Amino acid sequence: MACTAQPATSVAAGNTQGKWWKDGVVYQVYPASFMDSNGDGLGDIRGITSKLDYIKSIGATTIWVCPHYDSPQFDLGYDISDYESVFPPYGTLQDMDDLISGCHSRGLKIIVDLVINHTSYLHKWFQESRSSKSNPKRDWYIWRPAKYNANGRRIPPNNWRSNFSTNAWTWDEATQEYYLHLFCPEQPDLNWENPETRKAIYASAIEFWLKKGVDGFRVDTVNMYSKPKDLPDAPIINPKAEHQGAASLYCNGPRMHEFLSEMHDVMAPYDTMTVGECPNTPDRSKVLKYVSAAEKQLDMVFLFDVVDVGQGTETKYDTTPRNWTLPVLKKAVNNSQSLIIGTDAWTTSFMENHDQARSISRFASDAPEHRVHSGRMLAMLNATLSGTLFIYQGQEIGMINMPEDWPIEEYKDVESGNFYKYVARATNSDPVALAKAKAAIQHLSRDHARYPMCWDSTPQGGFSTNPKTWMRVHDLTDEINVAQQEADEGSVLNFWRRMLKVRQDYSKLLVHGYYEVLDEKNEHTYSYWKTSKDSRALVVLNFTHRAQDLELPKVETGGRLNLAISTYEHSTGAFDSLRPYEGRLYILECET
Ligand code: TEU
């Protein structure tokens, strides 16, 4: 039949064998900011349980809970002091059991964060490790003697910079050695070279929670466990800086595949889903090895191509707001979409998480007159890409970045805070440099994902009864909130619901289909085909605040492009142009 229009490349998009997580829609929850059930100003586990019906109503099939474990919270829970207990202000193990059974009784799956590149410095393993050089757990972390420079000054074992703008080594006075931490000093890196350490990690962090009934893990920093032998210096990119970015050395190290295969075997008796966080991995063959079904390592990864768009290279903040063009975004999307073409691998579709600023503010427009259309258009993009779909709390109601006029004191995250302090130190608090740093932080910092969820127009946006919330509630919570959007058919929330229904109805095309961009170089519109064995869908998106001409591609005789869903009402026609931030999805129908 002429109109089925097979693409030139064979349609082998992803191994479509029925794994529950492939057609899944994962809703990510950040416990501190989702819902406070006990009025202490901080979200908690019971708060999450109280909102499960809401999460299900959006069309999500799985929830991912960011770290709920006991922790001194230097990096908001990514510094775990005990894998087997819950951070007391969040609740108890019983509350987690209730959350797990609350999910399962509703037909939802639940995955939790697995943070095993490092622990908190308060974890008992590190406390033992640092107690003396001869302690049996000394080798569970990465300890090295000092080096000395030409002037006899003590210097760290290498020149690596941590992910948080500081030295990656901290000197331990008591035992006179340095320990490695790729993140905060309060997050020492575990030594994965030691088989005994790995065994303990698997038992405490993985099997403990699988036995409790969780359905899998989002695996933090999944490519950093294996460090290069002898920990060499990183190349000097910034001669003025004391420490150098070293991600190309500590990501994807020599034993990564071996470690992930071993971890896979630990999970094999359970029907799990794993999604690994995979920054700094430009080498496609490495990525494919992590996620090829035959390799048995991870089910899928989060690549950073899309969320890195517009960020600086030396450091993420070394940029100015909106420093990107649409062709760059298209190329980034293509990198993760192409991963499944002709392979047995699987991929993900996402634009937000707890480490990213809000997508409307970054990729479309958060101006009052555009933000609803922007939110709907980005929902269409996210929900028509192949792979498992991830939505971050608040994305479904179009939450935007914190207001520009909030002072730097409102930013609570260690990453933005350290960067700002670093610039202050390096420039002797030069006002121009600080203003540039603040502008970059206002555009890109992780804090924008972490202010409280906006539920309704009551004080504190319905997040907490306590006026002292741990982060300030957004000034626009009266305008952007769940209750108001429930009642509005045209809201971003109700558009996401419709879009997820469409995604499910056309799953072969939208979840599993072959992606092919049509207007690679166009700076204003973004169009692509999704193709399955016997049908095709066309998505057209306007990324500007102006109308854009729309010329639909010619289809072969016997075929017609029928509009399945648009982000605008279409009662009046106007099919020849796309309105500001409009998105449309057409399905190719064959006349019989
Ligand atoms: O992030 C790992 C990571 O690579 C970060 O540097 C990420 O690129 C950065 O946050 C983007 O601004 C994971 C977690 O997602 C993050 O929240 C933790 O802080 C980090 O690991 C340490 O556990």
- Under the banding of pLDDT at 50, 70 and 90, the label for residue 312 is very high
Residue 338, ligand 1, Cβ within 6 A: no
Nearest residue CA, atom 1 of ligand 1? 221
- Under the banding of pLDDT at 50, 70 and 90, the label for residue 372 is very high
Nearest residue CA, atom 3 of ligand 1? 221
- Under the banding of pLDDT at 50, 70 and 90, the label for residue 2 is very low
The percentage of residues in the chain with a pLDDT greater than 90, rounded to a whole number, is 92
Cβ atoms 65, 55 nearer than 8 A: no
Give CA–CA dist 446/412, Å, rounded. Answer: 9
Ligand 1 atom with the shortest distance to the CA of 446: 12
* The pLDDT of residue 16 is above 70: no
Give CA–CA dist 579/30, Å, rounded. Answer: 34
Nearest residue CA, atom 12 of ligand 1? 355
Residue 161, ligand 1, Cβ within 6 A: no
Write the CB contacts of 511 (distance below 8 Å, at least 6 apart in sequence).
22, 23, 386, 387, 389, 503
> What's residue 13's pLDDT?
52
What SS3 class is residue 287? helix
Residue 113, ligand 1, Cβ within 6 A: no
> What's residue 12's pLDDT?
47
| Top mutation candidate among 73, 76, 120, 221 for ligand 1, by most atoms within 8 Å of CB | 221
Residues in the chain: 592
Nearest residue CA, atom 23 of ligand 1? 78
Residue 163, ligand 1, Cβ within 6 A: yes
Give tens-digit pLDDT for 547-584: 999 988 888 878 899 999 999 987 555 567 999 999 99
Write the CB contacts of 267 (distance below 8 Å, at least 6 apart in sequence).
206, 210, 216, 274
Where helices occur in 430-491 by DSSP H, the ranges are 431-444, 482-486
The residue type of 105 is S
Distance 495 CA to ligand 1 centre (A): 30
Q: Which residues are catalytic?
A: 220, 277
Cβ atoms 145, 108 nearer than 8 A: no
Lowest mean pLDDT among 284-293, 345-354, 429-438, 566-575: 566-575
Residue 207: count other Cβ atoms within 10 Å of its Cβ. Answer: 15
Distance 585 CA to ligand 1 centre (A): 34
Which DSSP category does 453 fall into? P
* The pLDDT of residue 103 is above 70: yes
What SS3 class is residue 69? strand
Q: How many alpha carbons lie under 13 Å from residue 298 in its C-beta half-sphere?
A: 31
Ligand 1 atom with the shortest distance to the CA of 414: 19
* The pLDDT of residue 54 is above 80: yes
Distance 78 CA to ligand 1 centre (A): 8
The whole-number average pLDDT for the span 32-41 is: 98
Extended beta strands in 4-146, E state: 25-29, 62-65, 69-70, 82-86, 109-114, 143-144
Distance 95 CA to ligand 1 centre (A): 26
Of 182, 184, 175, 188, which Cα lies nearest the Cα of 158?
182
| pTM exceeds 0.85, yes or no | yes
Residue ranges of domains in the chain, CATH in brackets:
25-119+195-492 (3.20.20.80), 124-180 (3.90.400.10)
Tokens for 251, please give them.
């990501």
Cβ atoms 68, 43 nearer than 8 A: no
Give tens-digit pLDDT for 315-338: 899 999 999 999 999 999 999 999
* The pLDDT of residue 369 is above 90: yes
Distance 294 CA to ligand 1 centre (A): 28
Give CA–CA dist 262/257, Å, rounded. Answer: 9
Nearest residue CA, atom 17 of ligand 1? 355
> What's residue 575's pLDDT?
67
